[in-house]
Copies of this chain bind each other. A is one copy, B any other.
Amino acid sequence: MTPLTREECAKLDTEDPLAGFREEFTLPEGVVYLDGNSLGALPKATPERVARVVEREWGADLVASWSTAGWWDQPRALGAKIAPLVGADTHEVVVGDSTSTNLFKTLVAALRQNPDRKVVVGESGNFPTDLYVTQGVVELVGATERRVAPGEPDLEAALATGDVAVVVLSHVDYHTGTLRDMAGVTRLAHEYGALVIWDLCHSVGALPIELGACEVDFAVGCTYKYLNGGPGAPAFTFVAERHHASARQPITGWHGHARPFEFSGEYVPAEGASHFLSGAQSLIAAAALEVSLELWSRVDLGQLRAKSLALTDLFVSLVADAGLTLVTPLAEERRGSQVSLRHPDGPAGEAVVRAMAERGVVGDFRQPDVLRFGFAPLYLRHVDVHDAAMALVEVLRSHG
């Protein structure tokens, strides 16, 4: 596309149906924040809600809040709020623990759902914790990891051996911003008799997700990136309804028990995704997430995706001649809400990111040579993207 002028960008902002959301976030003065793919911005309503859970629910009402403030059911209530963002039914999602722990639980459960097979396929270059957790699980249960190069051709070759129990993939790659074909890859895995676990950390809140329509088996994801749940906010777990009756995760704590307040000595799994809960979760962290998910309930995901593509298109077109190599696929069906650019002189790229930060444009750098810019459509304007691109061009020129 032809690069737009700043005036043209300003005009697009006036026509943006999501423009009003920007006012619902606290953003530091003079900063263009392109790191919402790492830590999402703070909703303005969050501090008051957090103060309420601390001062009223905890401080004043104390233990009574387990029932009166809905604390016990919060992992399910938050899951129900995430469900529409990922194309799931409300009872298929629960919130709690970290993405790493939830991947651990779902991977063990998925292996048990496919007991005649012992191979877990992952892709090199996936976010390290996915690879590490897979290593931990296969060592624990006596399975085997088969790691392939990213992409459907190598994946299909790995599946074709007929011994693959589970495939673990990221929906959007954290490093390159590549979006995978969730429907196609899931179908491919199923054709070869494998189950699929999708890591949604870099896609949830960045684009529409259709776990149900894609017949996904399990999914995990975090809420502190595009979902604005706060630093280290609790993660979520999706378990497709068809697995509810038989899927068994291994961290069988009392929050996943069918009748926890009977204090019986034998574990009986709760129904639905609730069985995937284990122990107590911070209700303060949960309150912060509750606020952002209420905000998210008003977002049209189609509008979100359209704006995300427009912003990333805009950025790519404005930095096209800057001397960096585009890593993120331009094809819309392969693009997340992020633009990754490779610097010809790897380590110098880190200095570029620092120099941009000094000019108020916050992106990040990932070893060995990638500049990473995330585009959160709820609080970024076209003019912000224009300013960020110009800053990048100028920094590269002055660092040249």
Query: Does A333 have its Cβ within 8 Å of any Cβ on chain B?
Result: no
Query: Does A327 have its Cβ within 8 Å of any Cβ on chain B?
Result: no
| Docked-complex contact A280 and B222, CB < 8 angstroms | yes
| Cβ contacts A108-151/B at 8 Å (1 or 0 each) | 10000000000000001101110111011101110000010000
| Docked-complex contact B26 and A55, CB < 8 angstroms | yes
- Given the known interface contacts A101-B278, A128-B260, A283-B232, the answer about A253 and B133 at a Cβ–Cβ threshold of 8 Å is yes
Give the Cβ gap from A354 to chain B, nearest Cβ, in Å. Answer: 12
Chain B residues near A285 (CB-CB < 8 A): 232, 282, 284-285
Partner of A50, one of B50, B235, B255, B261: B50
Query: Does A177 have its Cβ within 8 Å of any Cβ on chain B?
Result: no
Q: A142 CA to B58 CA in the complex, in Å?
A: 41
Query: Does A254 have its Cβ within 8 Å of any Cβ on chain B?
Result: yes
**Closest chain B residue, CB of each to CB of A99:** B279
The stretch that binds B, out of A34-42, A202-210, A303-311, is A34-42
- Given the known interface contacts A42-B58, A128-B264, the answer about A136 and B252 at a Cβ–Cβ threshold of 8 Å is yes
Chain B residues near A59 (CB-CB < 8 A): 26, 28, 41-42, 47
| Docked-complex contact B100 and A255, CB < 8 angstroms | yes
Chain B residues near A50 (CB-CB < 8 A): 50-51, 54, 284
Query: Does A217 have its Cβ within 8 Å of any Cβ on chain B?
Result: no
Query: Does A234 have its Cβ within 8 Å of any Cβ on chain B?
Result: yes
Give the Cβ gap from A361 to chain B, nearest Cβ, in Å. Answer: 12
Q: A288 CA to B28 CA in the complex, in Å?
A: 24
| Cβ contacts A267-278/B at 8 Å (1 or 0 each) | 100000000001
Chain B residues near A133 (CB-CB < 8 A): 251-253, 278
Interface size class of A (residues with CB under 8 A): 35 or more
Query: Does A265 have its Cβ within 8 Å of any Cβ on chain B?
Result: yes
**Closest chain B residue, CB of each to CB of A366:** B263
Copies held by the complex: 2
Give the Cβ gap from A128 to chain B, nearest Cβ, in Å. Answer: 5
The stretch that binds B, out of A60-68, A85-93, A164-172, A186-194, is A60-68
**Closest chain B residue, CB of each to CB of A31:** B62
Query: Does A198 have its Cβ within 8 Å of any Cβ on chain B?
Result: no
| Docked-complex contact B58 and A100, CB < 8 angstroms | no
- Given the known interface contacts A33-B62, A364-B63, the answer about A42 and B28 at a Cβ–Cβ threshold of 8 Å is no
Query: Does A97 have its Cβ within 8 Å of any Cβ on chain B?
Result: yes
- Contacts A97-B279, A135-B266 known; 8 new A-B pairs at CB < 8 A: A47-B51, A97-B101, A100-B254, A132-B257, A136-B251, A231-B280, A232-B280, A263-B367
Top 7 closest pairs, chain A to chain B, by CB: A98-B279, A100-B253, A100-B279, A136-B252, A282-B285, A42-B59, A231-B283
Q: Residues of A with Cβ closer than 8 Å to B?
A: 26, 28, 33, 35, 38-39, 41-42, 46-47, 50-51, 53-55, 57-63, 65-66, 71, 97-101, 104, 108, 124-125, 127-129, 131-133, 135-137, 139-141, 147, 222, 224, 230-235, 250-255, 257, 260-267, 278-286, 288, 362, 364, 366-367
Give 20 CB contacts A-B under 8 Å: A26-B59, A26-B60, A28-B62, A38-B63, A47-B59, A50-B284, A62-B362, A63-B362, A100-B251, A100-B255, A104-B250, A124-B265, A128-B264, A129-B255, A131-B266, A140-B250, A231-B280, A231-B283, A262-B367, A284-B288
